[in-house]
Structure 1
Amino acid sequence: MMGNKQPQPRIILFGASLTQWSFREETSGFGWTFKQRYAGKAEVVNEGKAGYTSTTLNPEFERVLQEIKAPNAPRTLFITILVGANDACIIGPNGEEYCPLSEFEENIRNWVDSILVEDKLSATKILLITPPPLDISNPPYPDKVDLEVAKAGRGYLTYLNKKRYAEKVMEIARSYEHTGFVAGADIWTALIETALEEQGRLDKPDAFDPEMLPGCGLPKAKCFGTGYFTDGLHFGKLGYEVVTRELTKVISTNWPEVLPEALK
């Protein structure tokens, strides 16, 4: 008699719209790409919820956690967590965010801790992904723009804030490095460096000048090239290519045993 066939392990992709829409074939996002790569070896599950912040995602995370730690649930190879693009948006006149940085950090740490303490998930890897930069349109008449007024605008402040949230994600990831089960993927830097290289500025002394960063919207800055973003926030095909490449690099470096070619 043939034995019972073991269910395929799962890969959970958790987050907001950048995760949810990564499964669309037309943009070949990391969700869609992972589904192709892991076909027949692991089920790649879309747990992205467009428009959510890390705080409004808390009930969704609890639901996912209960599902993957159930006694009869298949093993979870790894979980990606991509939040912050909505959290970091400036919405108030005094610089208030949708989700303050301290609350954002608390949410992520609670999720990571909740996974690490579960016996059922003792081998599950956690990949924390930074929010990306924005791609703000350049002003039509840059020589007439008051730089200080532009720097005080909500767009530029949100741009800088996303950098802060990205740095926080990497800080959180580093604080869990000793476990061997948590790593960070800095897609903010990967996207910025890709744009700087295309602009021929990556090796320039002022490459990372905050007033000249790609997509920041200030007069001396340049936008990302066509295909990286669709609306200034969400990725196009080229943007998702950078993201997928960065995720694959981090997974290969830290946990080669969960690469598709390593799975039977």
Structure 2
Amino acid sequence: MAKPYNQIVLFGDSLFQGCSNVQDGFSFHGALQHLCVRGLDVINRGFSGYNTKNALELLPQIFLPPSPTNPRIEYLLILLGANDACLPIPTSSQGVPIEQYKENLIKIVNHEHIKAHNPKILLVTPPPLDEIRGYVTDLENGHKQRVRKAAVSAQYSETVRQVAAELPAVVLIDLQKAIMETAISMTPDYDPSGPPLGYQEGNKRGALEQLLPDGLHMSGEAYRVFFNIVRPHIQLPDDYYVYPDWRIMNPGNI
């Protein structure tokens, strides 16, 4: 019987769907797969436009319980919320009320198909939103008003922190904080006494212009920040290869 590779699964929306792409010479998916090559398969289950309601509805089809022919999920990264945080406007139905968003995240983490794998769960906050550029993108996509606001998105990121604090087995990956701190460090004239970067009130994008080119989705540079805060949580034993090293296959070499 074939010996399957266990998995790291990336479960979320377009922020995961797009992480396999090479941008600015970097691919989050590629870097993660390179880190665990020959030990774990990195599986992309990012679905553009999905919110937690959509993800929860399809979860039983996406995740099957482990079996002799179905690999075990060792790490599960969950990144959902950018679409849940959409405003209730006539041209967008993606938004999920924040109380329901919190319930959905907890249900996803505690779902029987997830628990059957007993993975290490890394729960990721949605990145910050550049609503200045995002509004332009919204108009380009045919909306008559803004679809998202930075302050609202920040509340959804805070909800992820609350869920991680309430569920001891879950590890928080604070992408919102990491991206914003990186943007501030790259913006020499940022005034911390004023509105945050990307807020309409401050009318200053700063380095979010590089990190979130369309106001929502991440650049290769931003994905590199993401990888750097995930990497310390992926622990690989010395003998993590599924199939033996070439020296074992070819004994007698120096």
TM-score (norm 2): 0.79
Query: 1 CA distance for matches of 2:4 and 2:114?
Result: 23
- Which residue in 1 is equivalent to 2:252? none
Tell me the CA shift for residue 121 of structure 1.
1.6
Paired amino acid for 1:200: P
Q: Residue 85 of structure 1 is aligned with which of 72, 82, 85?
A: 82
- Which residue in 2 is equivalent to 1:51? 49
Q: 1:156 to 1:50 in 2, by over 3 A?
A: closer
Tell me the CA shift for residue 188 of structure 1.
0.5
- Which residue in 2 is equivalent to 1:148? none
Q: Residue 113 of structure 1 is aligned with which of 96, 110, 114?
A: 110
Q: 1:49 to 1:80 in 2, by over 3 A?
A: same
Tell me the CA shift for residue 40 of structure 1.
1.8
- Determine if the alignment matches structure 1 residue 60 to structure 2 residue 58: yes
Q: 1:163 to 1:97 in 2, by over 3 A?
A: farther
Q: 1:175 to 1:116 in 2, by over 3 A?
A: farther
| RMSD (Å), alpha carbons | 2.7
Query: Would the aligned equivalents of 1:82 and 1:130 in 2 still touch at CA under 8 Å?
Result: yes
Gaps of 5+ in 1: 139-153
Instruction: Describe the SS at the equivalent of 1:21.
Output: helix
Q: Residue 167 of structure 1 is aligned with which of 146, 158, 162?
A: 158
Q: Residue 121 of structure 2 is aligned with which of 122, 126, 139?
A: 126
Query: Would the aligned equivalents of 1:156 and 1:217 in 2 still touch at CA under 8 Å?
Result: no
- Which residue in 1 is equivalent to 2:100? 103
**Percent of aligned pairs sharing the same letter:** 26
Query: 2 CA distance for matches of 1:125 and 1:98?
Result: 28
Instruction: Describe the SS at the equivalent of 2:180.
Output: helix
- Which residue in 1 is equivalent to 2:240? 263
Tell me the CA shift for residue 13 of structure 1.
0.6
Tell me the CA shift for residue 115 of structure 1.
4.9
Paired amino acid for 1:159: A
Tell me the CA shift for residue 19 of structure 1.
0.4
Tell me the CA shift for residue 84 of structure 1.
0.4
Tell me the CA shift for residue 98 of structure 1.
0.7
Gaps of 5+ in 2: 134-144, 242-254
Query: 2 CA distance for matches of 1:234 and 1:129?
Result: 15
Query: 2 CA distance for matches of 1:261 and 1:59?
Result: 38
- Which residue in 2 is equivalent to 1:22? 19
Query: Would the aligned equivalents of 2:28 and 2:223 in 1 still touch at CA under 8 Å?
Result: yes
- Determine if the alignment matches structure 1 residue 236 to structure 2 residue 216: no
Q: Residue 176 of structure 1 is aligned with which of 154, 167, 189?
A: 167
Query: 1 CA distance for matches of 2:113 and 2:57?
Result: 18
Tell me the CA shift for residue 217 of structure 1.
2.9
Instruction: Describe the SS at the equivalent of 1:189.
Output: helix
- Which residue in 1 is equivalent to 2:198? 215
Query: 2 CA distance for matches of 1:117 and 1:228?
Result: 32
Query: 1 CA distance for matches of 2:49 and 2:89?
Result: 18
Question: C-alpha deviations, 1:181-231, integer Å up to 9, x for none?
Answer: 3111111011111111112368xxx62x5x521122334533325531231
- Which residue in 2 is equivalent to 1:11? 8
Instruction: Describe the SS at the equivalent of 2:211.
Output: coil
Q: 1:72 to 1:247 in 2, by over 3 A?
A: same
Q: 1:238 to 1:10 in 2, by over 3 A?
A: same
Instruction: Describe the SS at the equivalent of 1:231.
Output: coil
Q: 1:113 to 1:225 in 2, by over 3 A?
A: closer
Paired amino acid for 2:55: L
Q: 1:9 to 1:23 in 2, by over 3 A?
A: same
Query: 1 CA distance for matches of 2:155 and 2:58?
Result: 25
Tell me the CA shift for residue 68 of structure 1.
4.0
Query: 2 CA distance for matches of 1:41 and 1:68?
Result: 20
